Amino acid sequence: MMHTEKMSPQERQASMSLASIYGLRMLGMFLILPIFSIYAAHYEGGNNSVLVGAALGAYGLTQALFQLPFGMASDKFGRKKMIYIGLGMLIMGSVIAALATDIYMVIIGRAVQGAGAVSAVVTALLADLTREEHRTKAMATIGATIGVTFAISLVLGPALAHGLGIAGIFWLTAILATLAVMVIKFAVPNPQISHFHSDASAAPAKLNDVLKNGQLLRLNYGIFALHAAQMAMFIVVPLAIQNSSSLDVNHHWQVYLPILMGSFLLMIPAIVMAEKKGQLKTVFISAVALMLLAQLSFAGLITHFWGIIASLFAYFVAFNILEASLPSLISKLAPAAAKGTAMGVYNTAQSLGVAVGGLAGGYLAHHYGQPIVFVFCAVLMSVWLLLTLSMKAPPSVRTKMYHLPDLNEQQAKQLADKITNIADVHEAVAIAKENMLIVKLNNQQSAEQLSTIEQKILELIGANHGISE
Cα angle value 460/463/464 (rounded, 5°): 85
What's this model's pTM, rounded to 2 decimal places? 0.90
Would you state the pLDDT for residue 466?
44
For the segment(s) 397-465, the CATH number from 1.25.40.20, 3.30.70.260, 3.40.50.620, 3.30.70.60 is: 3.30.70.60
Instruction: Tell which phi-psi region holds residue 424, choosing left (phi > 0), alpha (psi between -120 and 50) or beta.
Output: left
Q: What DSSP string runs through 20-88?
A: HHHHHHHHHHHTTTTTHHHHGGGSBTTT-HHHHHHHHHHHHHHHHHHHHHHHHHHHHH-HHHHHHHHHH
Would you state the pLDDT for residue 5?
60
The CATH number of 1-193 is 1.20.1250.20
Cα angle value 228/17/266 (rounded, 5°): 45
Give Dmax over CA atoms of the chain in angstroms.
72
Which residue ranges does the chain devote to CATH 1.20.1250.20?
A: 1-193, 202-394
Residue-level pLDDT, tens digit, the chain, 469 residues: 344 468 888 888 989 999 898 888 888 888 999 999 999 999 999 999 999 999 999 999 999 999 988 888 888 899 999 999 999 999 999 999 999 999 999 999 999 999 998 988 998 899 899 887 788 788 888 888 888 898 999 999 999 988 899 999 999 999 999 999 999 999 998 888 878 888 888 888 888 989 999 999 999 999 999 999 999 999 999 999 999 998 989 899 999 999 999 999 998 898 888 877 778 899 999 999 999 999 999 999 999 999 999 999 999 999 999 998 898 899 889 988 888 899 999 999 999 999 999 999 999 999 999 999 999 999 999 999 999 998 888 888 888 888 887 778 888 888 889 999 998 888 898 888 888 898 988 877 777 888 888 888 888 887 655 443 3
**Other CB atoms within 10 Å distance of the CB of residue 77:** 12
Topology (CATH level 3) of domain 202-394: Growth Hormone; Chain: A; (1.20.1250)
